[in-house]
Amino acid sequence: MLKRKYIRNVGLYVTDKQYKKLLEIAENNSVTISTVLRMLIDSITNVEINYVMKKREKAIIGR
C-alpha cells in the first residue's frame, strides 16, 4: 500500500515519491510545497482555458 501525505493548504494527497520531488522543487525555489502545487494547478488550468478559447475563436472565424 502506498503511503500518502496530505497537503493541507491545497487539499491534495500525494505519494511519498511525489512529496519528495515537490519538496526538492520547493527547496530549490525557496517556496512552500503548497505554493509549488498551486503554480502547477494554475499553469494546467491556464493551458486548458487557452485551448478552449482558441477552439472558440476558430469556430467564430469559420462561420
Q: What is the pLDDT of residues 22-58, one digit of tens each?
A: 999 999 999 999 889 888 888 888 877 777 777 777 7
Task: Please report, to the nearest 10 degrees, the dihedral formed by the alpha carbons of residues 10, 15, 19, 20 taken in order.
Answer: -170
Domain range for 46 is 4-61
Number of domain units in the chain? 1
Report helix, strand or coil for 14: strand
* Contact of 33 with 7, CB cutoff 8 Å: yes
Whether residue 60 has pLDDT greater than 70: yes
Whether residue 5 has pLDDT greater than 90: no
The one-character DSSP state at 31 is S
Give the per-residue pLDDT at 20: 93
